[in-house]
């Protein structure tokens, strides 16, 4: 897959604990490309659920998905609800059986509904797989996943993903809701972070 790389005009200095990491952010997927791809995903999702007799609910996984979720739900042209969930994984980081703690649960019951999990980026798939299992126990009519970014080379567990915006290499990315030390979520494009030597 080809990437449109543009060197940014700024270099930032970020304080993390006692470390100062100088880095640059380069555009990997432009704002226009992101918008166009989300419109395409919205059309595909609309067609998939158009004839369903069940209510559709989009479940955004916070925090990273909040911008993607907002734009995607405007492109889905069938009636739907939105809800949000926050989870964190803990345990042995080298294990694919890490536990997941729900920090914010859904506000509504999903029993009998078509549920679409909206994720910003899938790496190992461990946390997402656990969330899928948890929601599956709540007896939805169907359960599917849509992610903006996918890193297949990082996958540790096989998670079925119905809609993928972009499959990317194993790079450190930011923007469009994805952060670096809680910064850069506001960027309208997907950027690649490169650390610079002093």
* pLDDT digits 0-9 by tens, 49-76: 999 999 999 999 998 899 999 999 999 9
* pLDDT digits 0-9 by tens, 8-52: 434 444 444 433 568 888 999 999 999 999 999 999 999 999 999
Separation of alpha carbons 118 and 115, rounded Å: 10
Q: What is the pLDDT of residue 97?
A: 52
Q: Which of 138, 175, 182 minimizes the C-alpha distance to 26?
A: 175
Separation of alpha carbons 122 and 131, rounded Å: 13
Q: What is the pLDDT of residue 180?
A: 81
DSSP 152-188: GGG-SS----SEEEEE--S--EEBTTB-BTTB-TT-S
DSSP 100-113: EEEEE--SS--TTS
Average pLDDT, the chain: 86
Domain 6-195 coded CATH 3.40.50.1110: no
Q: What is the DSSP letter of 152?
A: G
Active-site annotation holder among 53, 109, 120, 123: 123
Query: Which band of pLDDT confidence, cut at 50, 70 and 90, is reported for residue 4?
Result: very low
Q: Compute the C-alpha angle 22/24/30, nearest 5°.
A: 160
- Confirm whether 83 is a catalytic residue: no
* pLDDT digits 0-9 by tens, 85-136: 998 875 544 444 567 888 999 999 999 999 999 999 998 888 899 999 999 9
End-to-end CA distance of the chain: 31
User: What residues does each domain of the chain span?
Assistant: 6-195
H or E, element range at 137: none
Q: What is the pLDDT of residue 99?
A: 76
Percent composition of the chain: helix, strand, coil (DSSP 3-state, to 5): 20, 40, 35
Q: What is the pLDDT of residue 3?
A: 37
Q: What is the pLDDT of residue 137?
A: 97
The percent of residues above 90 in pLDDT, for the chain, comes to 64
* pLDDT digits 0-9 by tens, 133-186: 999 999 999 999 999 999 999 888 999 999 999 999 998 899 998 988 788 889
| Token pair listed for 102 | 């729900």
């Amino acid at each position: 897959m080809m990437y449109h790389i543009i060197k940014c005009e700024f270099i930032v200095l970020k304080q993390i604990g006692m470390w100062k990491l100088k880095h640059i952010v380069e555009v990997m997927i432009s704002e226009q490309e992101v918008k166009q791809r989300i419109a395409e995903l919205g059309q595909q999702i609309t067609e998939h659920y158009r004839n369903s007799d069940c209510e559709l609910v989009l479940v955004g996984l916070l925090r990273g998905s909040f911008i993607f979720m907002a734009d995607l739900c405007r492109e889905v042209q069938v009636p739907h609800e939105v809800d949000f969930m926050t989870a964190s994984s803990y345990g042995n980081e080298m294990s694919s059986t890490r536990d997941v703690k729900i920090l914010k649960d859904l506000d509504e019951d999903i029993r009998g509904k078509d549920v679409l999990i909206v994720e910003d980026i899938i790496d190992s798939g461990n946390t997402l797989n656990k969330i899928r299992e948890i929601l599956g126990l709540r007896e939805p009519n169907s359960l599917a996943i849509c992610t903006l970014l996918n890193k297949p080379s990082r996958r540790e567990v096989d998670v079925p993903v119905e809609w993928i915006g972009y499959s990317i290499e194993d790079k450190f990315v930011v923007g469009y809701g994805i952060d670096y030390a809680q910064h850069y979520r506001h960027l309208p494009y997907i950027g690649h972070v490169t650390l610079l030597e002093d």
